[in-house]
Amino acid sequence: MALLEIIVAPDPRLKKKAVAVERVDASIANFMDDMLATMYDAPGVGLAAPQVGVLKRIIVVDPARDGAPPSPLKMANPEIVWKSDETKQHEEGCLSLPEEYDQVTRPDKIKVRYVDEHNEIRTIYADGLLSVIIQHEMDHLEGTLFVDHISNLKRSMIMRRLTKYKKLEQAAKRHALETV
């Protein structure tokens, strides 16, 4: 398995809509494994293909925490087929927006249909943290970030910090290259 580079916002690639996967073959299944390894390494609880520069409708999630056994889900073409009227607010963060968090309101329960890593159609019900993670990752497939669900003021503040972070990171990389 290979670790993939996670794109950090602001980046126009994160705002593009992903395309459907025609079939989950060995290549896509291996890519899902690479995504999962990248997510665990980051560490995170979810990752969408657009976050690693691949505009395909693929997400991986694992809500297991604090030493619980892993329970990963690998999903191609996930689709919410039902959502509860009841909503809940959760603090969200994102591997593409490092160290940034805010409250987002989402449906508390969802039913999702997807294609798994064996090219089988599956349906699951999700609530609580799993529901939040799936919805967050599915947003990436539409070019939507969690900050698109918060106020303009908070979003602007976060994006300014991330722009500054990226500039400092690029300067550090240039400096490291110059000293070699």
The residues annotated as belonging to the active site are 137
C-alpha closest to that of 40 among 62, 59, 67, 7 = 62
CB within 8 Å of 98: residues ≥ 6 apart: 8, 162, 165
Is the backbone peptide bond immediately before 69 cis, with ω within 30 degrees of 0? no
Q: Distance between CA 174 and CA 153 in Å, rounded?
A: 32
SS3 (DSSP) at 141: helix
* Pair 1, 37: CB distance under 8 Å: yes
